[in-house]
Chains A and B, each alone.
Chain A
Amino acid sequence: MRSQIFHKFGAALLLLTLLIVPFVMSYFGKTFWLDIFTRLIILSIAASSLSLLLSVAGLASFGHAAYIGLGAYAVGIPVYFETYGGNDFLAGYNGWWHLLLAVSVCALFALVTGAISLRTRGVHFIMITMAFSQMIFYLLVSLEEFGGDDGLSVDLRSEFALLDTVVLDIEEPWIFYLLCYVLLLLVLFVISRITHSHFGRVLNAARQNEQRVRALGVNPYGYRLFAFVLAGVIAGLSGVLYANYAYFVSPGMVEWTRSGELMFMIILGGVTSLFGPLIGATCFVLLEYFLSRWTIFWHLPFGLLLLGVVLFGRGGIVGLLTRRRRGELEP
């Protein structure tokens, strides 16, 4: 009970910190911190969506970066066509259009690949999801018109307008940051609701003992597929944000190491907690920033840390703080 209160208190503090720090830093002239925190929030959204699969459903997807890439290109390609001409159907700066594209493409891709992948288990699932994301990677590389390997500059951010009035001017970094922040809260809320719903309980039960769930007359396949699609769509959303944040999309976003980084964030933060991915992403981004600033050999301490977290820090940061073991989901 005590740990639960601590957990809620800590989470509120963390969210508050994320809201305040970039503003404070910018006030002191360090505007780059807004960039860092924007990236951190976007990665948190992606990692949270993966944690829905990893922690709740026990599905270790090793190709989650593919959805970030698809979502990002759903912004990059329409903006490219609008700027340089070409396909009139796709072209547009309209943010709603980008979102619609990202959501439908990611949902479709997740539906098809999920339907196939979910027939496998364990390490085979890891490998087949990686295979599908590698296919997306090489597909993007072959899109010569959109820069191929080099990626594509996104000249303007998405335009969110209602009745021809721009309601959200995300070219303004503050507004963009707040948008990402609110979306993160929304995603966390949705994931928390799902975890505690009937749907989440079935996923969780199937993760712990599939036989028992089947014996009760429930086939977890459909539940898992839905979770897979939902996680894909949320990751696609983070891709839309990422393209807008970076003004740049490239196949590099889909490399297998990127999917690995997302997993690392979740495990670093703690698999059992709703806020684990957020904490993990925060530590990941800040570590990357400070270590790379300190030395170009920053991969060495980073690798040691990774090793240390896995070997000694079971349950991630949240686990260390609350002494909760992996495998027990929060109540």
Chain B
Amino acid sequence: MNKNFLIGAALAGLCSTPLAAHAADIKIGFVTTLTTGGAVIGNDMRDAVNLAVEQLDSTMGGKSFEVLFEDDGFKPETGKQVTDKLIKEDNVDIVAGYIWSNVLMASYKSVTRADKIIISANAGPSAIAGKLCNENFFSTSWQNNQTPMAMGELLNARGVKSLYMMAPNYAAGKDMVAGIERTFKGEFVGKDLTKWGADAQLDFSAELAKAKASGADGLAVFYPGKAGGAFIKQYQQAGLNDVLPLYSVFTIDSISLPKLQEGKMDGILGSETSMFWGPDLDVPANKAFVASFKEKYGRYPSHYAAQSFDAINLIASAADMLDGDFSDTDKVRDALKKADFDSIRGDFTYGNNHMPIQNFYARKVVADADGNWTTSITKTVLESHQDVFAAECKL
């Protein structure tokens, strides 16, 4: 038994000696998914962050900085635990990242309670844009409803009269559905919310059969990450290409396209998505980002990567204004609010709820000059669009 105590004492001793000497002046925590199927997205984000760090030469505002990555394991609870660790143990100055709305919702209070800044590089749940908005929260992505609202407008423009919708059953999935419902003027003939999480439902046969039987003009879906690939495959296998045109948000992107191409899913060529950004968006900062990303990693960056890249550069812009002094959260907040940096989406401003006010585009799946599948922007659907929940935010 006393042996056990010795082990305990040894463990205690181990933790009191710093495991790694943190030399950097500024520490940024980055929470994303590095294990489970969701890691496909997390790795893309991490690659983009590392690219940004490299381009900044690990320096912002004249001070050295480092990024500490943590894995949320695709679970809200784990996400919150690692956020607590970043705040209380590593003493980071800012926490960024967060792919999933549910992980963000579970975690953000740990950051704001400590009066630090949290920057979402992807998730944008309606609650945090509206009722529960917080002055210490910033986004370098969008509010969940915006992209599907753009989709609704796109559907109207394409003359779709009746629509079937499918999305996973979690916060963002419901926000997506709500977004399309806000702007789409036709009739909704059906809707399915499927199981999500670490053991998400990936066989959509029952739902696809229903969608087909509904006789809708179009099928709108939201399946991020690996579920997207599985969905597209079954959509094609069920032979729906010709009968039920596909409109997707956050389903077909630079992560899923190479695999879809490998699987010869050419049914999706020509299908449309809506997005605030595209690899071919004609903005100098974006051209440079896409080129350097492709050079370093040999593939197109996804919007997840673009948003993460922006997050680091946004922080760097604040550091430049404050000479790298992040000790006064009020000053950091004011500096971030200016969003004074070369964003990959071009100019944008922050609304009262610290969500970007930005354009949304229609993108079509095409093959590029080298034959690789990518998306190409066809038209602007929403201009300088602010999310609808900003009105509910008291900031």
Contact = CB atoms under 8 A, between A and B. Distances in A.
B24 to A, nearest CB: 17
A33 interface: yes
Interface string A10-30: 110110010001001100101
Residue from B1, B71, B76, B88 having most chain A Cβ neighbours under 10 A: B1
B5 A13 contact: yes
A286 B171 contact: no
B9 interface: yes
Nearest to A26: B88
Given A32-B89, A296-B34, A17 B76 contact: no
B1 A7 contact: yes
A321 B3 contact: yes
Q: Interface SS of chain A: helix, strand, loop or mixed?
A: helix
B169 interface: yes
Contact of B4 (A250, A253, A321): A321
Interface in B1-23: 1-5, 8-9, 11-12, 14-16, 19
A151 B76 contact: yes
A328 B70 CA distance: 43
A208 interface: no
A217 to B, nearest CB: 40
A278 to B, nearest CB: 11
B161 interface: no
Nearest to A293: B19
Contacts, number: 103
B116 interface: no
Nearest to B85: A32
B1 A35 contact: no
Given A246-B77, A248-B77, A9 B9 contact: no
A170 to B, nearest CB: 15
A252 B75 contact: yes
B1 A250 contact: no
Nearest to A173: B88
Nearest to B82: A292
Nearest to B100: A150
Interface in B39-76: 71, 75-76
A250 B75 CA distance: 10
Contacts of A147: 102, 105, 171
B19 to A, nearest CB: 7
Contacts of A28: 16
Contact of A14 (B4, B77, B85): B4
Nearest to B84: A35
B77 to A, nearest CB: 5
Given A6-B1, A10-B2, A31 B77 contact: no
Interface string B161-186: 00000000111000000000000000
B196 interface: yes
A277 to B, nearest CB: 14
B34 A149 contact: no
A253 B3 CA distance: 33
Nearest to B34: A296
A105 to B, nearest CB: 21
A279 interface: yes
Interface residues of A, number: 44
Interface in A19-67: 21, 24-25, 28, 30-33, 35
A81 to B, nearest CB: 15
Nearest to A155: B109
A108 to B, nearest CB: 26
A292 B197 CA distance: 21
B84 A11 contact: no
B196 A149 contact: yes
Contacts of A9: 1-2
A13 B88 contact: no
A315 to B, nearest CB: 13
Contacts of B110: 247
B197 A149 contact: yes
Given A35-B88, A247-B109, A250-B76, A148 B169 contact: yes
B332 to A, nearest CB: 22
A244 to B, nearest CB: 13
A14 B8 contact: yes
Residue from B19, B35, B85, B106 having most chain A Cβ neighbours under 10 A: B106
A153 interface: yes
A120 interface: no
Interface string A125-141: 00000000000000001
Interface of A: 6-7, 9-11, 13-14, 17, 21, 24-25, 28, 30-33, 35, 141, 147-151, 153, 155, 246-248, 250, 252-253, 279, 282, 286, 290, 292-293, 296-297, 299, 317-318, 321-322
25 contacts: A6-B2, A13-B5, A14-B4, A14-B8, A17-B5, A17-B8, A21-B8, A25-B12, A30-B15, A148-B169, A148-B170, A149-B169, A150-B76, A150-B106, A150-B171, A153-B106, A246-B77, A246-B80, A247-B80, A248-B106, A250-B102, A252-B77, A286-B11, A297-B35, A318-B1
Top 10 nearest A-B pairs (CB, nearest first) are: A10-B1, A150-B102, A32-B89, A32-B88, A13-B5, A6-B1, A248-B106, A296-B34, A150-B171, A31-B88
